[in-house]
Amino acid sequence: MRSVFQTDKTKDHVKSLAFMDPNGGVDIQRYDTMKYRQFDKLTDKQLGFFWRPEEVDILKDSKDFKELTDWEQHIFTSNLKRQILLDSVQGRSPNVALLPLVSIPELETWIETWAFSETIHSRSYTHIIRNIYPNPTQVFDELMNIQEIVDCANSITEAYDELIEKTKYWELLGPGTHTVNGKKVKVDEYELKKLLWKCIMSVNILEGVRFYVSFACSWAFAELKKMEGNAKIIKFIARDENVHLASTQTLIKLLPKDDPDFAKIAKETEQECIEMFMQAVEQEKAWAEYLFKDGSMIGLNVELLSKYVDWIAHKRIQAAGLSSPIKIDSMNPLPWTQKWIAGSDVQVAPQETEISSYIIGGTKQDVEKNTFSGFKL
């Protein structure tokens, strides 16, 4: 049985496998020497991005929301509900599913940091809902009434649930065939690694594809000078998700080199992983159709969002080392979203949370003696 602390003095953490090392899990949390410094850099980056939703002023959003059309309110509220689901899963699942299998400290610390940042996202949705809706509880209570959200929940939790279940058997019973509640259960280390690989790929899809229809809608409102506080928060969330995506992409590239079993698994599951991506693409497109079933908004419609999903997914599939079956144009169909996504160097501080359209006047500091020459009353 694995312990929360390994006392084997002969273990060399720099030579340990990233996951499921035969000599056990993490012992000393040390960062003077590391096997994969990439994860320590991701931790530093995420910690440098620390922010709190209360720093963002969303008072104007409450007034904006009342002025939205019924279908615009439907788009906004439905996206909030779906984002709550996605980050509820991510707020706990990386810790529960991945930490029991981790063998090196820098990866363990990254996963803990990653999960903590997801809880900030969940808190931010509550912050938005409290300030916009007269009955916040109703928004949460109705969250699972939307079939498209239920389908998404089932899809993204399947890989997590199976890995968590088989990990418990592996920890408590060890390899072999066992009887659990009258049911035969086979525990095999290689098959557990295969579940881990598919789980990491599923999370990669979640972080890299599943948020972007909702993100685009939030930013489209802000482009129209509506719901700008919400869009600012979503920008911070997207910035975090880019770091999380970088971590799953790093794992997908490193694990086949770290452990020969994962190199074999990557080849065996290649088609299955592509199908996982395509399932997410279809669900994102179905979500776009649900959002715009009663009407569109200026600058955004189902066709554009579907092309955007294809464009995003094509890039993510290739980044995962897979062959993309999606045919796309080379240009981003929603080029204006790039300014919202490309914010990885933005530092969050209270003084930076003003919404641009709130600022009516300002002081220009480059006034010279001849600035008003020729000016007559």
> Catalytic residues, which ones?
125
The end-to-end CA distance of the chain, in Å, is: 87
Q: What are phi and psi of 301, to 5 degrees?
A: -155, 180
Structure tokens at 241: 């998700």
Contact in structure between 97 and 170 (CB atoms under 8 Å): no
Q: What are phi and psi of 369, to 5 degrees?
A: -60, -35
Burial of 26 per CB tally in 10 Å (0-12, 13-18, 19+):
buried
Q: How many CB atoms lie within 10 A of CB 34?
A: 17
Q: Pick the closest to residue 231 from 84, 79, 350, 345 (CA basis).
A: 79
What letter would DSSP give residue 267?
H
Torsion of CA 199, 202, 207, 211, to 10 degrees: -140
Return the beta strands (E) in 70-215 as ranges.
176-180, 183-187
Alpha-carbon span 234 to 236, nearest angstrom: 5
What letter would DSSP give residue 180?
E
Structure tokens at 280: 């997410």
Helices 212-223 & 70-98, crossing angle to 10 degrees? 140
Per-residue buried b or exposed e for 66-98, using 16+ beta carbons within 10 Å of the residue's own CB: eebeeebebbbbbbbbbbbbbbbbbbebbbebb
Q: How many CB atoms lie within 10 A of CB 103?
A: 23
Alpha-carbon span 192 to 196, nearest angstrom: 6
Alpha-carbon span 126 to 130, nearest angstrom: 6
Q: How many CB atoms lie within 10 A of CB 345?
A: 6
Structure tokens at 185: 């259960």
